[in-house]
Amino acid sequence: MNTARLTILFFLLYHISITAQNLKLGSIFTDNMVMQQQVKAPIWGWAKQNATIRIITSWDGKVYDVIPDRNGKWKTLVTTPIAGGPYNIQINGSDTIKLENIYIGEVWLASGQSNMSMPLKGYPNQPVMGFTETILNSKGKKIHFINIPTMAAYKSQDEFKSAKWETASLSTTGDCSAVGWFFADLLYQQLDVPVGIINASYGGSNVEAWMTDAACAEFEDIVVPPKSDETSPWINNVPTLLYNGMIHPVKGYGIKGMIWYQGESNIFNVPRYAPSLAAMVKDWRKIWDQGDFPFYFAQIAPYNYKEWNFFTPQWPEISAYQREAQMKAQTLIPNSAMAGLLDVGEEFQIHPPRKKEVGQRLALLALAKTYGMTGFEFESPEYERMEIEGNKAIIHFSKQFMGLTTYGKELSLFEIAGENKVFQKAKAYINEENGTVTVYSHLVKEPIAVRYAFKDFVDAELFGTGGLPVSSFRTDDW
């Protein structure tokens, strides 16, 4: 058979495969899903070419007709009502699919590495504090979640396998991301609407793995691998692969915003972390076509990284520099904010068991900044500027709600330096009348720089009066 005939046969077979395709929905659409309220929510799938797909939404009885493109792909927007449920959606084509027990409410995408993927029931020999009580109290709550299977792919994937939306119950809640659950639960309590969590996270992953081709192209040192059909559930740190395998299949699903807990795996190139994260978020927002949706992220918690410092001798307190980079990321990413975690770390456990604080602090940001609630402290005070008065440094803080406190603890984590750039342990105290901190040492007569808690592992001692910790910081750039 000559080349021309082979080519014709190929296209005939391809055409037959497309036109014969049965009705199928995108993997993210299953029973028990939560859809974002009061939006035009995308719904998509595949079917026979030129077939008419009819979608009927039970909350308003509205009918949507859509015709697949030449590849069999179809997509349309359905108008969602105010929060409520349960509802159903019927999709008619060559077959009929009926999605049931659908709720309308608030949907958030959760992503990152192992501290986000860590389930409520914990990892083997690594607990989540209070998980038994939390699971027992979850029954009946309108919190639904879906865990996107871990998958790295060298080309963008349209689907994922073996995952579905779950409802809260004694047998399922323990599988929800712990951070995702505590975030959703506080929203559920305060908003009194169903909450859905899409958990697409992977332990040990770096930010480059979650970036798109376009985002990676902004950086000369990020090498995107060649495209191929290869996939693997065991690769977590190759540029674009986790975006391709775990985010692309859900891109565009109606969400309110995103929460992120990642950064430990990027401590080997701290200077590029903030711009990389900003590039990732910028392109995800472009792909979602929902404008600058909220992006709230968790600062990495203190941990003893001494063994990791073999590769980064230039940054002896490596995680302090990474926490600084995360602070910077807030200024690079519009409509973003960071939850401080300087008080929840474990010196020799990179997966802190206190996940409730993480999820709830992310939720405080959402409640205040996205949902407009007031009357409570929702973000940590932040270092703003320093002024020198004689031998004392006066540290000013922004984002204060009702001032600063140590809860009766002596401030011992401040250091101060003069022209010789040698930091000395300093004395420090809060000036209650104006919310500043005075820092000094008899060994430094003319101070020029101050650092607070600028170590790998510390136990926070300076807080807003609402209990949110001030991040480690430095006034120098040495």
Mean local confidence (pLDDT), 411-429: 98
The dihedral sign for the CA sequence 244, 250, 256, 262: negative
Query: Is residue 419 included in any domain, yes or no?
Result: yes
Tens digits of residue pLDDT in 268-301: 999 999 999 999 999 999 999 999 999 999 999 9
Residues 159 and 145 in one domain: yes
Task: Specify whether the CB–CB gap between 361 and 416 falls below 8 A.
Answer: no
What span, in angstroms and rounded, lies between the C-alpha atoms of 158 and 71? 13
Tens digits of residue pLDDT in 316-336: 889 999 999 999 999 999 999
Residues 231 and 220 in one domain: yes
Categorize the per-residue pLDDT at 7 as very low, low, confident or very high, splitting at 50, 70 and 90: very low
Mean local confidence (pLDDT), 17-43: 88
Residues 278 and 140 in one domain: yes
CATH number, domain of 394, equals: 2.60.40
Distances (CA, A) of 280 to 112, 124, 208, 215, 388: 12, 32, 8, 6, 39
- The four Cα atoms 62, 67, 72, 78 give a dihedral, to 10 degrees, of -30
Residue range of the domain that includes 469 = 382-474
Residues 91 and 7 in one domain: yes
Tens digits of residue pLDDT in 178-226: 999 999 999 999 999 999 999 999 999 999 999 999 999 999 999 999 9
Confidence at residue 288, expressed as pLDDT on a 0 to 100 scale: 98
Query: Is residue 375 included in any domain, yes or no?
Result: no
Tens digits of residue pLDDT in 237-263: 999 999 999 999 999 999 999 999 999
Query: Is residue 26 included in any domain, yes or no?
Result: yes
Residues 363 and 440 in one domain: no
Query: Domain boundary residue among 67, 83, 103?
Result: 103
Q: How many structural domains comprise the chain?
A: 3
Looking at every residue in the chain, the average pLDDT score rounds to: 94
Confidence at residue 121, expressed as pLDDT on a 0 to 100 scale: 98
Task: Kindly tell me if the per-residue pLDDT of 475 is higher than 70.
Answer: yes
With a CB cutoff of 8 Å and minimum separation 6, the contacts of 195 are 34, 105, 106, 107, 108, 142, 143, 144, 184, 185, 187, 188
Tens digits of residue pLDDT in 433-460: 999 999 999 999 999 999 999 999 999 9
With a CB cutoff of 8 Å and minimum separation 6, the contacts of 269 are none
Residues 98 and 111 in one domain: no
Task: Kindly tell me if the per-residue pLDDT of 362 is higher than 50.
Answer: yes
Confidence at residue 191, expressed as pLDDT on a 0 to 100 scale: 98
Query: Domain boundary residue among 78, 103, 128?
Result: 103
Confidence at residue 21, expressed as pLDDT on a 0 to 100 scale: 65
Categorize the per-residue pLDDT at 8 as very low, low, confident or very high, splitting at 50, 70 and 90: very low
Tens digits of residue pLDDT in 39-61: 999 999 999 988 999 999 999 99
Residues 114 and 38 in one domain: no
The distance of Cα 380 from the centroid of its chain, to the nearest Å, equals 18
Whether omega before 86 lies within 30 degrees of 0, making that bond cis, reads yes
What Rg, from alpha-carbon coordinates, does the chain have?
Answer: 25
Confidence at residue 33, expressed as pLDDT on a 0 to 100 scale: 98
Amino acid at 44: W
